[in-house]
Structure 1
Amino acid sequence: MTELRIGAMPVTPPQVVIEALQQIETASVGHQRHTGFMSVSIQAVLPQQQARAGVAVTLAIPAMCSTLLHYALSQVRPGDMLVVDRLGDSRHACLGGAVARAARMAGVAGVIIDGPCTDVAEIIAEGLPVWCRGVSSVTTRQLDLGGTFNRPIACGGVPVLPGDIVLADASGVVVLPADEAADIADICIARETRVARTMQRLLDGEKLGDITRAVDKVNARLNPGATEGTQK
């Protein structure tokens, strides 16, 4: 790639929406919708990674080149989620210790890479939340091969637009339309409140199948006549 295309920085969402999303888990979103979830191959570098959310700032960079990534790190704002399309490259790591420090100093909420990272210990030491496809010792260089910044990309098999909202945690990464993010957060917060009650009931000795009525449903399938009799 030699083309260079740069778009405007996306509008940042209300902080209250981001704070609400960071109260929930990606798995809670997965209970209500199945779209927008990146490949399960994209995992958090830190296994205990807490939820982070932010507006998507998108980047596509080719193979061995990270020139535009360094440019992007001079443009990102506190709270942005930098989402990087590696255009199919799975060999070259574009993020290591120095890039992680630059991203942390810029205040980004996290970095999502459809490719590998390197310098894992340094990334963890920096405290920068990173999600990627594994680790590589082969790194990118400043080759000025172009790319795109704040243009539509694909990451983890999901289309990502500048301005989308990204929620990521130890269970995965999901991309949400900005105009739906607040409602999704509200629904998931309510669900997690119900789950907390279920967890307490389990501690109190109740069986999961009784709480969810799965036992009743299976018994009804096994003994349809008994169910019909109770309905007469």
Structure 2
Amino acid sequence: MYVINAMPEQVEQADLDLLSGVETATVGHWRFFGFMNHSIQPLLPKRRIVGTAVTIAIPGPDSTLLHHITGMLRPGDVLVVDRMGDDRYACWGGGVTIAAKAAGAVAGIVDGPCTDLTEIEDSDFPMWARGISPITTRLYDLGGGINIPVSCGGVVVNPGDAILADESGVLVLPRGEVNEVATKALAIQERGKEREASVKTGLKLGEVSGASDKVKARMAV
């Protein structure tokens, strides 16, 4: 059985532009949800992407629907793949990479392994996955779903959510929260730069952050 829903409205470009300056680790200073498990790692180093989540769920050994969805992708989309618990079969390789990039997708995120790392590198296509596997999927026509709520890295991803991914991990944000989260994160990053500049001039990190005052107060009790 296949469930194929309409493509989601894309996140406002102005919000994505704002989010593109944010580090996932900055948001991690105060937000505790929306982060995929740290085992989903970037396959290409030093990449940061933002985009609109397009979701797909496919069963273990089958990638029929994944091939199909590459023809639906638009510029700015991030394809998020729910593997329905499978961690043995690599559904994403060189062919899917070329097709996704040709469609204008900005990245792929797979809750399982990929394959053909050299071809992914040669395509310069950012990918996040749970490693590499030589055992690949086939076109078994087993079914699946497109643009349904999925689970990826322990996070519920809805079609149309905003995705921010970098070398530290992957963050999923409801589209209505992007502007607020990005604005707060950018302010924190600016203060962080000021703090780093102070430490470089000789101030102690604990003094600048306030940590030393907390320790001294505790010791005085």
**TM-score normalised by structure 2 residue count:** 0.97
Alignment of 1:79-158 (within 5 A): 79-158=76-155
In the other structure, the counterpart of 1:5 is 3
Cα separation, 2, equivalents of 1:127 and 1:26:
21
Cα separation, 2, equivalents of 1:82 and 1:183:
24
Deviation per CA, 1:114-168: give whole Å up to 9, x if none: 0000111111111111000010001111111110000111111111111111111
- Structure number with greater Rg is 1
In the other structure, the counterpart of 1:15 is 13
Alignment of 1:216-227 (within 5 A): 216-224=213-221
1:162 to 151, 154, 159: 159
The alpha-carbon deviation at position 13 of structure 1 amounts to: 1.5
Amino acid at match of 1:174: L
Cα separation, 2, equivalents of 1:186 and 1:173:
18
Cα separation, 2, equivalents of 1:140 and 1:213:
53
The alpha-carbon deviation at position 48 of structure 1 amounts to: 2.1
Cα separation, 2, equivalents of 1:157 and 1:216:
37
Amino acid at match of 1:158: V
Amino acid at match of 1:32: W
In the other structure, the counterpart of 1:180 is 177
* 1:213 counterpart = 2:210: yes
Q: Output the aligned Cα RMSD.
A: 0.9
1:195 to 192, 196, 211: 192
8 A contact 2:11–2:161 mirrored in 1:
no
Q: What are the ranges of 5 or more consecutive residues in structure 1 without an aligned counterpart? A: 225-232
Cα separation, 2, equivalents of 1:94 and 1:149:
15
**Counterpart secondary structure, 1:138:** coil
Deviation per CA, 1:169-203: give whole Å up to 9, x if none: 11001111110011101010111110111111121
The alpha-carbon deviation at position 93 of structure 1 amounts to: 0.5
2:45 to 33, 44, 47: 47
* 1:62 counterpart = 2:59: yes
The alpha-carbon deviation at position 109 of structure 1 amounts to: 1.4
Cα separation, 1, equivalents of 2:49 and 2:184:
18
**Counterpart secondary structure, 1:58:** strand
Amino acid at match of 2:7: M
Amino acid at match of 1:219: K
**Counterpart secondary structure, 2:54:** strand
Q: What are the ranges of 5 or more consecutive residues in structure 2 without an aligned counterpart? A: none
Over the matched positions of the two proteins, sequence identity in percent amounts to: 49
Deviation beyond 4 Å, 4+ runs, structure 1: none
Corresponding pairs, count? 221
